[in-house]
Amino acid sequence: MTLQELYQEIGGDYNQVLRVLRADKLVDKHIRKFPGGGAVESLLAAGDNMDPVRLFEASHAVKGITGNLGLTGLSEAASRITEEFRPGNSRKMTDEEVRELLGEIGATYRSTAAAIQRYAEG
């Protein structure tokens, strides 16, 4: 599987990641690291306690990482959580809606990580 095929499979934006990282070699290096990076796991753990500070910080980190990697679905979902818990913003989602969104993030992350693993095994 090529990088382009991987991005097609995971619904990522290959052109976006190339604009950020500028070379296939760097895309390859960073996409392989993504599943073991721990950022999404930290976000999901923050959701267990609905800790607003941890949810904001973790979702902001995930938004940046996934945005830079062209993982648009994860980035957009993390952005929604970031804005929901941004200090000074009033909440618009219920805790249950946040948990549902975190569940979607978890499911997307797992399928993305599995595809990256298949790519890495080559």
Cβ pair 26, 70 in contact under 8 A: no
Q: Kindly report whether the global pTM for this prediction surpasses the value 0.75.
A: yes
- Return the SS3 of 70: coil
Q: What is the DSSP letter of 75?
A: H
Cβ pair 62, 54 in contact under 8 A: no
Q: Quote the pLDDT of residue 66.
A: 98
Query: What are the structural domains, with CATH classification, of the chain?
Result: 3-121 (1.20.120.160)
Q: Which residues of the chain have pLDDT under 50?
A: none
Q: Quote the pLDDT of residue 85.
A: 98
Cβ pair 65, 92 in contact under 8 A: no
Q: Quote the pLDDT of residue 61.
A: 98
For the four alpha carbons of 17, 18, 19 and 22, in that order, the dihedral sign comes to positive
